[in-house]
Amino acid sequence: MTGVLRLPSGRLIRGRGLRHPLPEGPVPTFGLYLLGHEPPSVDWKSRWLRWPDFRLPSDREDAQEALREAWTRAETERVEVACGGGRGRTGTALACIAVLDGVADREAVAYVRANYESRAVETPWQRRYVSRFQSGRAS
């Protein structure tokens, strides 16, 4: 499925850009939206994580909690993670979720690029954030 990342545990999470139409098929049951401004309303449960474009999450603790929630929900629910374009912030979030799923932090960006989008995680500080995510030093 296009835009769907299969984690090593078998959990599936769809990444997408909100500037693109909602893909065909079942709608999510939970969405995590990574934007610098409040996202548009959706017909499913959702959470907004304040995350400006090309930057890092505004609140690191909230980010840890939100990403863990998305990972946990993906065990039994249809989860999507989305930002404006679906690459930088979404790729960074998916890489962090892959770390939660057992992918080594130093391999998570490559994992997401190979299994989701080849240009995911756009900036050096986003890559560094992923590499430090599990240690709690993400910055």
How do residues 68-124 score in pLDDT, each as one tens digit? 999 999 999 999 999 999 999 999 999 999 999 999 999 999 999 999 999 999 999
Closest CA to 138 of 41, 121, 129, 61: 129
pLDDT band at 2 (very low <50, low <70, confident <90, very high): low
Does the structure show a pLDDT above 80 at 131? Answer: yes
- Average pLDDT rounded to a whole number, residues 114-136: 92
CA–CA gap between residue 68 and residue 26 (Å, rounded): 23
**pLDDT for residue 123:** 95
The strand pairing partners of 4, in sequence order, are 14
- Kindly indicate whether the domain formed by 4-132 is annotated with CATH number 3.30.70.60: no
As a three-state string, the secondary structure of 37-98 is: CCCCCCCCEEEEEECCCCCCCCCHHHHHHHHHHHHHHCCCCCEEEEECCCCHHHHHHHHHHH
Q: Where are the domains of the chain?
A: 4-132
How do residues 8-32 score in pLDDT, each as one tens digit? 999 999 999 999 999 988 999 999 9
Classify residue 138 as left (phi > 0), alpha (psi -120 to 50) or beta. Answer: beta
CA–CA gap between residue 83 and residue 51 (Å, rounded): 9
